[in-house]
């Protein structure tokens, strides 16, 4: 009986980070859809690193710590909000603290845009994120 309880405890503890990551990402996407900059930033650790395609918003595409505000102030602005509102996502856990999020905006329209982000989440905060945008279909 003790072995079964210990095994159950290990399973629950192992799955806890993935569950917490899902909650963080659900909150993140919901706030992106509303354009609430402060709520989006709340999901990030103070020293978070976000890597986007170079030239998308900055020449290097790398945002560290307070610089993430620059990135998300653009991504949550009025021009980008319509795309955010249409965003559909799926998640795939890659490791206890690492999640792949596939996303699509404007699905089924000429404006369709898709890609994927990889998130590392520790202590309930995003500490690292990469953003990859799929090439436009011609």
Q: Quote the CA–CA distance of 65 and 60 in Å, as a whole number.
A: 15
- For residue 21, the model assigns a pLDDT of 77
CB atoms within 10 A of CB 130: 16
Write the pLDDT tens digit of every residue in 107-133.
Answer: 999 999 999 999 999 999 999 999 999
Asked whether 90 and 101 are in contact (CB, 8 A), the reply is: yes
Q: How confident is the model at residue 45 (pLDDT cuts 50, 70, 90)?
A: very high
- Alpha carbon 125 to its chain's center: 11
Q: Is residue 138 part of a domain?
A: no
Q: Is residue 35 part of a domain?
A: yes
Q: Is residue 8 part of a domain?
A: yes
Write the pLDDT tens digit of every residue in 5-37.
Answer: 333 333 334 444 455 778 999 999 999 999 999
- For residue 2, the model assigns a pLDDT of 39
Number of compact structural domains in the chain? 1
CB atoms within 10 A of CB 26: 12
Write the pLDDT tens digit of every residue in 52-111.
Answer: 999 989 999 999 999 999 999 999 999 999 999 999 999 999 999 999 999 999 999 999
Task: Assign residue 55 the CATH number of its domain.
Answer: 3.10.450.50
Q: Two tokens at 66? A: 């307070």
Asked whether 44 and 70 are in contact (CB, 8 A), the reply is: no
Q: Quote the CA–CA distance of 75 and 32 in Å, as a whole number.
A: 8
Q: Is residue 13 part of a domain?
A: yes
Q: Is residue 50 part of a domain?
A: yes
What domain range is 53 assigned to? 2-133
Which of 17, 39, 18 shows the shortest CA–CA distance to 28? Answer: 39
Q: Is residue 20 part of a domain?
A: yes
Which of 54, 47, 87, 39 shows the shortest CA–CA distance to 68? Answer: 47
Q: Is residue 69 part of a domain?
A: yes
């Amino acid at each position: 009986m003790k072995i079964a309880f210990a095994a159950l405890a290990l399973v629950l503890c192992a799955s806890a980070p993935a569950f917490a990551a899902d909650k963080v990402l659900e909150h993140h996407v919901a706030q992106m859809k509303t354009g609430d900059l402060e709520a989006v930033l709340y999901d990030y650790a103070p020293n978070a690193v976000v890597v986007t395609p170079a030239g998308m918003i900055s020449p290097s595409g790398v945002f560290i710590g307070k610089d993430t505000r620059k990135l998300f102030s653009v991504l949550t602005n009025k021009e980008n909000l319509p795309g955010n509102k249409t965003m559909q996502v799926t998640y795939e856990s890659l490791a206890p603290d690492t999640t792949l999020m596939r996303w699509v905006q404007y699905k089924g329209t000429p404006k369709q845009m898709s890609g994927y982000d990889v998130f590392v989440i520790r202590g309930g905060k995003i500490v690292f994120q990469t953003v990859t945008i799929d090439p436009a279909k011609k």
